[in-house]
């Protein structure tokens, strides 16, 4: 089994406007058997990173290792990795069986019987055993994606590389395939690097997430680490739905965070204050699900009066848009879907101190 090391890797492209740094000094150690998701907004360098591991792009600087061995000099077919694309990339003139066999014929010297039995085994695993003699044009999008995955599995690679493989499927199929892919990955124990821009996919499927922005690595951690202890404002904003609330605040003395209009004051305990060092220009962050929306009087120093602007019922939850009474601050909260709340209603909103995040406004780094 095989771990993958992406070691200080940079990739630059030249275009008519000059140099583009697509991947900027990224280091990630992916453990043997791990399911790592590379996530980030469009253009952040996810696909380029994956394509360098596959050997479809050269590395400008740094190195990529499989089990500690540099592989930059190896041709894609000699890397023993299997890549699955969003577009499926099946050969239209071949049957499913031929599509699945093709990669084996290229990369192994198995006998015909061995190839057939491997194809059948992988097809069973992907639930496409009865489609082996059909052409891709006679399959639904979901079935074609199963074939593309089956074609990767049949090669018994050391590493799976997947580039948004579920993006062309509808929402229901996508969530079904997520579960199935996870099951198969666990069953086979093959190290997997999976690219997506969808944070829900990243949160639900991965052992660890690597968050990229503008070619740079923002954080590598388990989904819960990235959610509860984001390394910076970018990760805090990207992970979580609806996104974290952010308020620009200044630090006054040792004991309060205050908005520039002085309307919102958040008293700090010494434990939080101690984490902030000398920084004065800060951003206070609190997740919508951590806000406590109540009907009663303002109860403590971390609870404020607010008015409800809009309530969006989402089924299990209501997403509630609030306006604070004392400051020009809007907040988004999620509350239980059974709660009856109306726009225009006055409520209290609590920002519990154990749920707040504080970021340096200039660097974006998490201080608390």
Which parts of this chain interact with ligand ATP (CB under 6 A)?
Answer: 13, 15, 20, 22, 40, 42-48, 197
Q: Looking at beta carbons only, is 14 or 137 nearer to ligand ATP? A: 14
Q: Taking the complex as a whole, how short is the minimal distance between the CB of residue 99 and ligand ATP, in angstroms?
A: 24
Q: Looking at beta carbons only, is 86 or 318 nearer to ligand ATP? A: 86
Spatial CA neighbour of 264 closest among 325, 333, 322, 349:
325
Q: Looking at beta carbons only, is 20 or 325 nearer to ligand ATP? A: 20
Q: Taking the complex as a whole, how short is the minimal distance between the CB of residue 40 and ligand ATP, in angstroms?
A: 6
Spatial CA neighbour of 322 closest among 307, 334, 336, 312:
307
In whole angstroms, what is the distance from residue 50 CA to residue 9 CA? Answer: 11
List strands edge to edge, sheet with 216-221.
81-85, 159-163, 191-196, 35-39, 208-213, 216-221
In whole angstroms, what is the distance from residue 54 CA to residue 75 CA? Answer: 9
Q: Looking at beta carbons only, is 84 or 128 nearer to ligand ATP? A: 84
Q: Taking the complex as a whole, how short is the minimal distance between the CB of residue 28 and ligand ATP, in angstroms?
A: 15
Q: Looking at beta carbons only, is 58 or 270 nearer to ligand ATP? A: 58
Q: Taking the complex as a whole, how short is the minimal distance between the CB of residue 51 and ligand ATP, in angstroms?
A: 7
**262's torsion region: left (phi>0), alpha (psi -120 to 50) or beta?**
left
Coil, strand or helix at 244: coil
For 256, phi and psi rounded to 5 degrees? -155, 150
Q: Taking the complex as a whole, how short is the minimal distance between the CB of residue 43 and ligand ATP, in angstroms?
A: 4
């Amino acid at each position: 089994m095989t771990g993958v090391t992406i070691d200080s890797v940079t990739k630059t492209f030249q275009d008519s406007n000059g140099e583009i740094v697509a991947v900027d000094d990224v280091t990630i150690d992916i453990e043997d058997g791990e399911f790592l998701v590379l996530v980030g907004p469009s253009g952040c360098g996810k696909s380029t990173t994956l394509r360098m591991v596959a050997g479809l792009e050269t590395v400008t600087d740094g190195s990529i290792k499989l089990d500690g061995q540099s592989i930059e000099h190896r041709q894609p077919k000699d890397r023993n990795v299997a890549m699955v694309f969003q577009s499926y990339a099946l050969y239209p003139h071949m049957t499913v069986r031929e599509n699945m066999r093709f990669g084996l014929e290229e990369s192994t010297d198995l006998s015909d019987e061995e190839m057939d039995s491997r194809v059948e085994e992988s097809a069973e695993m992907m639930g496409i055993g009865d489609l082996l003699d059909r052409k891709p044009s006679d399959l639904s999008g979901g079935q074609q994606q199963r074939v593309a995955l089956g074609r990767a599995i049949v090669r018994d690679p050391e590493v799976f590389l997947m580039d948004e493989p579920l993006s062309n499927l509808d929402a229901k199929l996508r969530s079904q395939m997520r579960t199935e892919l996870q099951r198969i990955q666990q069953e086979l124990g093959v190290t997997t690097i999976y690219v997506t821009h969808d944070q829900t996919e990243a949160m639900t499927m991965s052992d660890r997430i690597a968050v990229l922005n503008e070619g740079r690595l923002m954080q590598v951690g388990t989904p819960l680490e990235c959610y509860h202890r984001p390394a910076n404002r970018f990760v805090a904003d990207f992970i979580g739905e609806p996104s974290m609330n952010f308020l620009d605040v200044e630090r006054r003395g040792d004991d309060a965070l205050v908005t520039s209009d002085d309307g919102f004051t958040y008293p700090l305990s010494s434990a939080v204050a101690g984490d902030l060092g000398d920084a004065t220009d800060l951003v206070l962050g609190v997740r919508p699900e951590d806000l406590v929306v109540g009907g009663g009087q303002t109860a403590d120093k971390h609870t404020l009066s607010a008015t409800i602007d809009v309530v969006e019922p989402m089924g299990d939850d209501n997403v509630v848009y609030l306006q604070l009474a004392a400051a020009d601050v809007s907040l988004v909260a999620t509350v239980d879907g059974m709660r009856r709340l109306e726009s225009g209603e006055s409520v209290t909103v609590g920002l519990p101190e154990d749920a707040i995040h504080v970021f340096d406004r200039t660097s974006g780094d998490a201080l608390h």
